[in-house]
């Protein structure tokens, strides 16, 4: 399987290493332009606004995407989803660390079976969250909700028939 295509602007910035023709470049630019909405200002979802960690990540991404015209309002669902996953990941790590501190605290009178049960629950929770993340990433790719997936949707070259100079003789 080949590599996914780069946006034409990035390809040209690197020096047209594949040697795309002017017609190919124009066709790819036209196709990429069709996928744009023109609005480059994604908005926060209410759940992102209510979560401190997600809100910080959204602000960070918005600053990063400020000068990139390829990321736009069509991507706001993917950006909001990423921010929520990031916040859940931080909260899960904090919960895990608190649980470990509680179990290992000096003077904590927790029997071994309870410790094993708590750590087993935590492991199962982490596995479920990881599966959820993988499903969301696959869904974003299928629905072209992220810039990488849209770049992969660059059309293949149309095959042109070579003009036969002797075609007029056989009409």
Task: Give, in degrees to the nearest 5, the angle at Cα 38 between 19 and 25.
Answer: 10
Say if residues 42 and 73 touch (Cβ distance below 8 Å).
yes
Q: How far apart are CA 78 and CA 83, in angstroms?
A: 9
Considering all CA atoms of the chain, what is the largest pairwise distance in Å, rounded to the nearest integer? 100
Q: Give burial (CB, 10 Å; 0-12/13-18/19+) of 8.
A: buried
Q: How far apart are CA 152 and CA 30, in angstroms?
A: 15
What does the pLDDT read at residue 56?
Answer: 94
What does the pLDDT read at residue 112?
Answer: 81
Scanning the structure block, which residue is given the tokens 């908005």? 43
Cα torsion at 148, 75, 141, 123 (round to 10°)? 110
The token pair that represents 95 in the structure block: 């919960």
Residue 105 DSSP symbol = S
* pTM exceeds 0.85 for this model: no
The token pair that represents 39 in the structure block: 């609005």
pLDDT truncated to tens, each residue of the chain (171 aa)? 566 566 777 677 777 777 788 888 888 888 877 777 677 778 899 999 999 999 998 898 888 777 766 667 777 888 888 888 888 888 888 887 887 787 777 877 778 888 788 778 778 878 878 877 787 787 667 656 677 776 666 555 556 666 677 767 775
What does the pLDDT read at residue 143?
Answer: 56
What does the pLDDT read at residue 85?
Answer: 85
What does the pLDDT read at residue 115?
Answer: 76
């Amino acid at each position: 399987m080949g590599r996914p295509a780069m946006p034409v602007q990035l390809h040209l910035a690197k020096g047209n290493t594949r040697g795309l023709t002017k017609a190919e470049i124009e066709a790819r630019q036209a196709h990429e332009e069709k996928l744009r909405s023109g609005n480059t200002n994604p908005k926060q979802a209410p759940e992102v606004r209510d979560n401190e960690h997600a809100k910080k990540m959204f602000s960070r991404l918005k600053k990063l995407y400020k000068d990139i015209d390829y990321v736009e309002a069509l991507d706001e669902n993917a950006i909001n989803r990423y921010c929520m996953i990031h916040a859940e990941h931080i909260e899960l790590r904090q919960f895990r660390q608190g649980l470990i501190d509680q179990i290992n605290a000096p003077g904590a009178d927790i029997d071994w079976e309870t410790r094993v049960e708590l750590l087993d629950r935590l492991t199962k929770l982490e596995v479920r969250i990881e599966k959820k993340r993988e499903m969301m990433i696959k869904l974003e790719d299928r629905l072209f909700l992220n810039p990488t997936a849209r770049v992969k949707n660059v059309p293949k070259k149309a095959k042109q028939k070579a003009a036969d100079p002797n075609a007029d003789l056989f009409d």
